[in-house]
Structure formats: structure tokens, C-alpha cells
Amino acid sequence: MNDPNPFPKPISSSQSFVSENNFESKESNKEHPVGGRSYQTLTPPNSNENNPVELTATKTINVVEGSSKISFRSQTTSSIRIGSPDTRSPIESLDRRIEQIEINTFGIQESQSNQFSHFIDLPLANKRTRKSNEGKSEFEQQKKSVKTSSDAEEDQQVKLSLKQTVSNSTALERLENLCVRVAQNLKISNEDLQRLISAKGNLNTANLLAVYNERLSARFREEAPITEQEIRDMHSILFSPLLADLSEQEATLPINVINPAPAFVCKSLLNCLESIENRGGYTSSIEEVKEFSLSEPKPEGGVKAIINNNTEEGIPAFLEILRGMGEKGGIVADAYEKYVDDKVQYRTQLQKFPIIESSQLFGGGNVNEVYTLTDEGKPQWIFKPANNFKNNPTICKNEQMASCINYHNQFRVPLTVLIDLGEGAVGSAQLFVPDCVKYGNVQENENFGLDRIHLLDLQKMVILDLLIGNTDRNEGNLLFQRKGDFYRLFAIDHDQCFASSLSRPLLLCYDNLPQLKSSFLPGIADLISSEAEKIYEQKMKSLNAYEGDPYFEEQEEIEVENEQEIEDENEQEMVPCHAIEWMKFVIKESRLALENGETPIQLIRTIKSEWQNRLNFY
């Protein structure tokens, strides 16, 4: 019910005005921690409109330090006068003046309360100076004012200190609130999050981000596909005001495709997803780019002959020969150059689409559809939709599992995540490796050839391929990136791994490289340690390496004879190429090889021989 009197009664010495901000109940203040402020008037009994009134503003802030909650209180007192009611608008409130006091003293502006009183319009006064002047002549007051100028400086320092205290407290409040959001996003308690942060040091944005990054990196390697909403939630936290600067720095660093910063992953995936949405969704985007691909320039006649009969390096010289053959030769040469220009323009336009069939970008052909997700016209992710791999539904899982067991980031495998692009398009997305050449290019390079492959990279990949039983390590899925005096190795396409193809032999295209005839380097021992073996097994079990393998599914036929049932059961138990069992066997043999001083070539031959024996037996 509204007060019929628009002007509240004058303030008396017994009255206090308290404004409690219930931040939790206001939608717009969700990000602010719970705190409060109170305003109390301290006036003499004979107070009237002409006598000064002392107003005390107190701000209380709750901050978490370790496992304890501490309250900080900042207080200021101001001498003011009460304005005349007949000269002020009824909507001008005491809180407006209090708000100004807070701005001057605390350096912040709180929400205004709904309580109205007379408008107070006298600037802040120095309390000590006012009291020290009471009962003194004007001359004495002037002398005293000179003597107390240091008091004014001291008061200014106190106010600055108060501002800094409240500013620091406010930052801690915001950090505490962000911790609550992070804990909710990670589905852990705030207490557990605080313990994880404490293990790294003090509660600050750097340590909070470090903990959050570790959890996100683990999430990227889980079996459940990442949804668009998850990516949006992660991005919202990573680029919230307190973490934005740190996350932006990490997102703009050179990309580590094996262990990229979560800020980069979230930013890149969100950009790709939003670009697909802007094109009408997954299906619409694919149909649109397929229709555009019909406009791709095709070489014909003389242009086609030039391409088929010359190497790329030899074409410029051949064009000069054509131009020297007269008008007809010049026409063919011009046609070829026009074809090249048209092709460049076509590719420029093609890369503006958010999702493109990879064969259109990089040439070659794929048995199944493989797509490239782009961000601002640059390839970012290689996407393999699960529904396009009907002959082997474990392909996408295998791709991610090869990345998942790379918990130590030692194997040269780009990060691979399972992602849901919407409309049922679930699949694996592997980070694109830029500026690479393939095995054949390295092999043909006389000055910078196969002998320049980074030796430790190569030995690590031997161990990985043997551990996961790779039956398709061909030259096309090894990428080489030149760094200084060496080629750094990256391995892609791990769909035929983890004993998913019992009818195929192990295929390692690099098993005859001369570098593999030298002894194993010391860094290999960590990859086959007891701890590594336990974690490999844990990761493979978490991703259903056994249950998901179609070669190890139990027979579902019910009407079978007892003898046949026993036979099938024994065969099931004796299957040697179970992914986890095979991994354990390889680790045991690898340890023996290191102990006996064997070379990678010798280990490869031992493992291949055992694989083939088992293959022949079954």
C-alpha cells in the first residue's frame, strides 16, 4: 500500500535505514556474490533541517578463503544536511545520496533501495576537522585548518585504501561466483573444485583456469559425444570476463594439434557449429556445397592433355613450348592458364562453406564420406559421420580411442573428439594438421628425405601401431611437417585398429626405414611402463573396446546343441586379438626388446610374426 504522504518523516536519532541486496533472488544479479550494506544515521536530538547529520555507510562482503568464509566490512561516515521538503521532488531519495557516498568512498555503485527520504545534498565533509573547530574563533579555525591539512591527506589515503580493499573484495566475490559456475559445469561440488584449486596454489584465475582446462581436456576424450550446448557452456566460462584474457592468449598461440588449448577447441568448434547453423543446419549445408561443387572447372581437350602428360613442375616449360608453336599453341596455353585461374577462384569460394567433402579440398577418394569443417575459410577439423560407416560401426570409436589412450600426449596423434553436429550427425572430429606433406613427397625429396624424420617420433609411432594392432598404417595416413632440421610426424586414420579386423595382417609402411635399425631411445620406456599399461587398459575399457568389437560379440542363436555351445564359448575365451589382451602382449614383448637391446625392426618382426600365427590359427 502506498504511503499517502509523499515525503517521509525527518530522520531522527533512533532511526536506521538498512538496504539488504538479495542478489540471489534477482535474475540480473546472478553473477554477484551474496553481500549487503547498511546505512545508519547518527544525529543529535535537536537535529533539524539546518543542523548537520552524520551518515554512516557500511558495506559487508563475504569472501571464501580456503575452506573458510570471511566477512570484510568497510565503513565511512559523512556529515550532511537535510534539504527542505518543499524544494525537492518526492522521488529524490536518501538512497541516491548514499549511492554517491559509496561511489566516492568505495569506488563502486550498488543497486538503489526502494526506501525514500529527504534528498541530502551537502558534499562530504571531514569529520575530524569539523569536530576540532567546534567552539573556536574563525581565526583559530583558519589556523587549525592549516594544521589539519595533513588530516585531509590522511583521509584521502584512507579512502583510497578503502577503495582498493573493496575492489579486491569485489574481485574475490566475482571469482568465487565463477567457481560456482565452473563446479556446476563440471558436475562436481564447489568444495571439490576448491580442493583441486588449492592443490595448485592460491585461489586465483590462473589456477581456476588450469583446473578447468584439465577437466575439459579429459572431457574431449570421453565416449559420450560433445553437444553444441556443452560447447556453448564451456565457451561461456572460458571467455567470461575474469578468464577472457587468459583464454584468448591460449586460443591465439600456435596450435598444438596433439594437445590443443581447450579455449582453442571450444572457440573453433563453436565457430564451425554456428557457421553450419547459419547455412540452415547440417543436411542443408552438405546439400548446398554439393550443388556448388557441380560448378567445379573441369579440364578438357588440350588442357586435359597438358595435365595428363606433364608433371606439375614441368608444365610452365611446356607452356612456353606451346606458345612458340604459333597461334594454336598459344590458344591452348591460354586455355590452361584460364583453367588454373578458374580453379583458384572456385577453391576460394568452396572454402567459404562450413562443411566440405574432403576429397573436394584435397583430392583423392574415400570409400566413405569424410568432411572438412572450416573456420573462416581455413580447414579445422576432419569429420567422419558414424552413419556413413555402416560396414564397420566402430570406426568413429576407434578414431577417438587412438587419441584417448594418448593421455600423456606422447603419441603423434591429433586430438580427436566425438561430436554431435545436430540432425543425428554424430561422428569423430580430428584436428586438421596444416602445412604437411605425405610420405611419398618425403621419399622423393633428395635433399630432405626419409632420413630427416624425427627418430623419437618414429619410434613412438611404432609402439602405438603395435599396441593398437593397426592393420592399415599406409603411406597415405602419415603426415610430415618440416620443423628445423627434421620432419615431425603425425599419424591419422586409425579406424582399422583395436582388433577390429581379424582377417587382415598388421600393415606398417615404415617398418623398413633405416632409422628403425638403431636402438630404442630412452623415452620409449615410459610408454610401456606398468603405469602406462594400467591407464591404457582403463581408457580402452571406458570406451567399450571389448563390447563394441563385432568380432567378439556372443552368439545370439538360441537353438544350438550343448556341444556347439561349449565349443563357441571356448573359442570366445581363446580369442587372442582382443584389443586389451593384445595391448598387454605387445607391452610385455616391448619391455623384453628394450631389456635385450633389440631394435624397433626386430620388435616389429616379432609382433608381426605372432599376429600372423594367430591369424592363421583362427
Quick: pLDDT tens for 533-588: 999 999 988 876 544 443 333 333 333 344 444 344 433 333 334 889 999 999 99
189 and 247 part of one domain: yes
3-state secondary structure 420-464: ECCCCCEEEEEECCCCCEEHHHHHHCCCCCHHHECHHHHHHHHHH
Number of compact structural domains in the chain: 3
Long-range Cβ pairs for the range 364-369 (8 Å, 24+): 364/476, 368/395
pLDDT band at 445 (very low <50, low <70, confident <90, very high): confident
Does residue 120 lie in a domain region? yes
Does residue 322 lie in a domain region? no
Range of lowest pLDDT (193-207, 278-292, 524-538, 552-566): 552-566
47 and 191 part of one domain: no
457 and 566 part of one domain: yes
**Which comes out higher in pLDDT, residue 163 or 290?**
290
Residue 436 backbone phi and psi in degrees, to 5: -115, 160
- Examine the pLDDT at 301 and tell me if it is beyond 90: yes
Which of 266, 283, 310 corresponds to the end of one domain? Answer: 266
Q: Identify the domain containing residue 596 by its residue range.
A: 452-554+562-617
One-letter amino acid of 34? V
Per residue in 331-362, pLDDT (tens digit) is 999 999 999 999 999 999 999 999 999 988 88
Q: What is the pLDDT of residue 156?
A: 66
96 and 144 part of one domain: yes
Taking the chain, what is the end-to-end CA distance rounded to the nearest angstrom? 88
138 and 205 part of one domain: no
DSSP 514: G
Say what the alpha-carbon torsion angle 411, 412, 417, 418 is, to the nearest 10 degrees: -80
pLDDT band at 226 (very low <50, low <70, confident <90, very high): very high
CB atoms within 10 A of CB 388: 17
CA dist 407 and 538 (Å) reads 11
Give the burial string for 255-285 (b: 16+ CB within 10 Å, else e). Answer: bebbebbbbbbbbbbbbbbebbbebeebeeb
Q: What is the pLDDT of residue 439?
A: 87
Percentage of the chain exceeding pLDDT 90: 50
Q: What is the pLDDT of residue 154?
A: 63
Mean pLDDT of the region 362-366: 69
- Examine the pLDDT at 306 and tell me if it is beyond 80: yes
Q: What is the pLDDT of residue 269?
A: 97
Does residue 584 lie in a domain region? yes
Range of lowest pLDDT (300-309, 453-462, 504-513, 599-608): 504-513
580 and 484 part of one domain: yes
470 and 595 part of one domain: yes
141 and 184 part of one domain: no
Does residue 278 lie in a domain region? no
Sheet with 426-431, strands from edge to edge, namely 355-357, 371-375, 378-385, 426-431, 416-420
Q: What is the pLDDT of residue 617?
A: 75
Range of lowest pLDDT (109-113, 429-433, 498-502): 109-113
Per residue in 309-329, pLDDT (tens digit) is 999 889 999 999 999 999 999
Largest CA distance in the chain: 120
**Which comes out higher in pLDDT, residue 605 or 29?**
605
Percentage of the chain exceeding pLDDT 70: 65
Which of 152, 184, 207 corresponds to the end of one domain? Answer: 152
Q: What is the pLDDT of residue 468?
A: 94
Residue 383 backbone phi and psi in degrees, to 5: -105, 130
Which of 215, 246, 266 corresponds to the end of one domain? Answer: 266
Residue 45, classed as helix, strand or coil, is coil
pLDDT band at 287 (very low <50, low <70, confident <90, very high): very high
Does residue 175 lie in a domain region? yes
CA dist 348 and 378 (Å) reads 10
Q: What is the pLDDT of residue 88?
A: 42
pTM: 0.69
Q: What is the pLDDT of residue 20?
A: 36
480 and 539 part of one domain: yes
Q: What is the pLDDT of residue 424?
A: 87
Range of lowest pLDDT (91-105, 178-192, 234-248, 518-532): 91-105
- Examine the pLDDT at 1 and tell me if it is beyond 50: no
Q: What is the pLDDT of residue 582?
A: 92
Does residue 197 lie in a domain region? yes
pLDDT band at 433 (very low <50, low <70, confident <90, very high): very high
138 and 234 part of one domain: no
Contact 152, 44 (CB under 8 A): no
209 and 241 part of one domain: yes
105 and 208 part of one domain: no
Does residue 399 lie in a domain region? no
Per residue in 187-200, pLDDT (tens digit) is 999 999 999 999 99
Range of lowest pLDDT (43-57, 473-487, 560-574, 596-610): 560-574
**Which comes out higher in pLDDT, residue 367 or 352?**
352
C-alpha cell at 492: 591419422
Mean residue pLDDT across the chain: 76
> CA 386, 394, 489: angle at the middle one, nearest 5?
90
- Examine the pLDDT at 302 and tell me if it is beyond 90: yes
Does residue 147 lie in a domain region? yes
pLDDT band at 128 (very low <50, low <70, confident <90, very high): very low
